[in-house]
Amino acid sequence: RFLVLPMRPEGTKGWDQEKLAALVTRDSMVGTGLAKNANEVAP
């Protein structure tokens, strides 16, 4: 078993958990991709 923690994308310092969760993708959780960029989520 593995525990994969996606890297925090730049520009997300101070974001709350709900806003950060919008960046997480399936691929980022299984370690085959990166989370979305901060500019991909509507403010």
| Structure confidence by residue, pLDDT tens digits, 11-42 | 899 999 999 999 988 998 888 888 898 888 76
Q: Which residues contact 35 (CB under 8 A, 6 or more apart)?
A: 6, 7, 8, 9, 23, 24, 25, 28
Rounded Cα gap, residues 23 and 20, in angstroms? 5
Model-level pTM? 0.69
Name which residue leads in pLDDT, 7 or 10.
Answer: 10
Rounded Cα gap, residues 12 and 37, in angstroms? 9
What's the pLDDT score for residue 16?
93
